[in-house]
A and B are shown apart, each in its own frame.
Chain A
Amino acid sequence: MHIHFNKKHRKYHKHGGKTLDIDQYAVQSGLVDMNPDLKLLTGVLSLVLCLMSPNGITAIVVAVFMLYITLYHGKLKALQYFNLILIPLFFITLSGLVLLVDFSKKKFGFFNISILGGYLIVTQTSMKTAFLVSTRALCSITCLYMISLSTPLFEIIGVLRKYKVPEIIIELMYLIYRFIFILLEAYHNMKTAADTRLGYCNIKRSYYSFFGICSNLFVIAFQKASKSFDAMEARGYNGNLKFLEKDKPVKRLQIVFFLFYCFIMFMILVLERIGIWQKIF
């Protein structure tokens, strides 16, 4: 099993097709040399700020800042980012719809459709809630993306290890992360093999191939696990996984910038919560 992480190798050789784009972008990010603790702290703090924001104003300011970090300092292309945002958008639209429309026996609100002896209605409050919740969700996603598009997963695990997450979970995480690539590669090999033999020529065949491949993949997973264990034991594995980690110290300027960001955001949040915006507008 290959334990060492090789940046150059991953940069030019992509495992698992397009499935793990985010992982790929994270390794190539312009922020990859930044201290992972600081990135995680910024991201999580921003997330909390988004959730605490009562009118969504703080959330929007946070989102703008997160976009700036990810796109400008992270050097990610806007189109790539847009494609990633489409993933959660479906959920947001669907749930937003549920929040927007209410079911009622009485006819009121400024928009209503009669259905099943009642009315589907849209009211001012429901519109406000739907808009607010969707904004907050969308802004929170920019924070999540800031973390996941700038910090490779193994570094996130490293941070978790530092903060005393049980060792058994950390080990499982490291192994699962590595095994994902093995399995994705096996899957793509089998899929290509099935495809060249017209395994996906119609829906019936596709499902037959898909089910067969998935069940075969499970078997392969077990066999690979066995083989990995033998390989690890042969190299003196005694229940302890250790990895080389590059030391990434925090720069003084970054700390200053981070504190400044916290201060500004905190002020905005406080102002928003005491309702200063309503007084101005």
Chain B
Amino acid sequence: MKKQEKIVIMILTGMALGFGMVPTVNAMHIMEGYLQPAYCIAWGLICIPFLAAGIFRIKKVVNEHRKTLLILAMAGAYTFVLSSLKFPSVTGSSSHPTGTGLGAMIFGPSTMAVIGLIVLLFQAILLAHGGLTTLGANTFSMAIAGPIVSFIIYKIGMKFKLNKHVTIFLATALGDLFTYCVTSVQLGLAHPSSTSGVGGAVLEFLGIFALTQIPLAIIEGFLTVAVFIGLETYAKPELSEIGFLQEVK
């Protein structure tokens, strides 16, 4: 690592410390059995167009470069592993598929929707985060809605030539926060409050999950910047070889 990059990482680390004390726990996947059948099916159906677009895009890219399949698989595995790691001095892991935001910036949001779906399925089966019946709802919030926001912010930032690292931080953190808003809406819709209806329930879910989600979004933002620095330094040839990373240049 160059000296400048070291300094950047040091600063990021220092800033992350302030938030690291908060006990974050894996709380943002909607658990198995939490949604009624109608909602499970509805959220699943909403995801289908995005997934179809993703599958077509992956097929097209893979036909041009076979190797892309492996790169995508590695990106998926990385996303899974990152979500299962424990943050230092914090009880519990992030469990967000954090990598989806980064992946959306590199590979595009439709590709990441497919990878995100697979990662969420694996998380449900291997880590018991989320579930099979809530897979549709979780895919929509974490693999589609969040990454799309990250992608749009990243594009805007690049267009107006803002500082790249700041843009990536904002893209990831806001994408995360959007995910958490969507999940709260999903929960509120499924279980409206008896006195204040859907709106009240959504606000309550937003309030109680803010405790864990806001610090998490900030840590994940910093983490993504750190990963991005590493990527630019070492993995550029691998990425540009297969036709990605025009955006990253």
Q: Which residues of A come within 8 Å of B, CB atoms?
A: 19-20, 22-23, 44, 47-48, 50-52, 59, 84, 87-88, 90-92, 94-95, 97-99, 101-104, 121, 123, 125-126, 129, 133, 136-141, 143-145, 147-148, 153, 156, 166, 168-169, 171-173, 175-177, 179-180, 182-184, 187, 200, 203-204, 206-212, 214-219, 221-226, 228-229, 232-233, 237, 239
B95-128 vs A: 1/0 string, CB under 8 Å? 0000000000000000000110111011011111
Cβ-defined contact, B118 with A172, below 8 A? yes
Q: With contacts A182-B77, A215-B226 known, is A144 near B196, CB below 8 A?
A: no
Q: How many residues of B contact A (CB 8 A)?
A: 88
Q: Using Cβ atoms and an 8 Å threshold, which residues of chain B touch A88?
A: 31-32, 128
**B137 interfacial by beta-carbon distance below 8 Å:** no
Q: With contacts A133-B34, A222-B71, A222-B239 known, is A22 near B126, CB below 8 A?
A: yes
Question: What are 11 A-to-B residue pairs whose CB atoms are below 8 Å?
Answer: A87-B129, A90-B26, A90-B92, A98-B201, A104-B195, A141-B31, A169-B117, A177-B122, A203-B21, A214-B223, A225-B73
Shortest distance from the beta carbon of B21 to any chain A beta carbon, whole Å:
8
For the complex, would chain A's binding face be called helix, strand, loop or mixed by DSSP majority? helix
Question: Could you list 19 further interchain pairs (A-B, Cβ under 8 angstroms) beyond the known A90-B27, A180-B77, A237-B66?
Answer: A23-B126, A47-B32, A51-B35, A88-B31, A102-B194, A102-B196, A125-B194, A137-B34, A138-B33, A140-B33, A172-B76, A175-B69, A175-B70, A176-B122, A179-B77, A204-B17, A211-B13, A214-B82, A229-B70
Cβ-defined contact, B125 with A218, below 8 A? no
Cβ-defined contact, A51 with B69, below 8 A? no
**B64 interfacial by beta-carbon distance below 8 Å:** no
CA distance A166 to B234 in the complex (A): 33
CA distance A104 to B200 in the complex (A): 9
B188-224 vs A: 1/0 string, CB under 8 Å? 0001011110001101110011000000000000110
Measured CB to CB, the nearest residue on chain B to A138 is B33
| Candidates B9, B32, B40, B80; contact of A212 at CB < 8 Å | B9
Q: Using Cβ atoms and an 8 Å threshold, which residues of chain A touch B35?
A: 51
CA distance A94 to B35 in the complex (A): 15
CA distance A44 to B77 in the complex (A): 26
Cβ-defined contact, A176 with B227, below 8 A? no
Cβ-defined contact, B208 with A211, below 8 A? no
**B175 interfacial by beta-carbon distance below 8 Å:** no
Cβ-defined contact, A91 with B87, below 8 A? no
Q: With contacts A84-B128, A208-B9 known, is A140 near B77, CB below 8 A?
A: no
Q: Report, nearest first, the 10 A-B pairs whose CB atoms are least far apart.
A: A140-B33, A215-B230, A206-B88, A179-B77, A175-B73, A225-B74, A137-B33, A211-B226, A176-B76, A222-B235
Cβ-defined contact, B230 with A219, below 8 A? yes
Cβ-defined contact, A98 with B208, below 8 A? yes
Q: Using Cβ atoms and an 8 Å threshold, which residues of chain A touch B114?
A: 169, 172
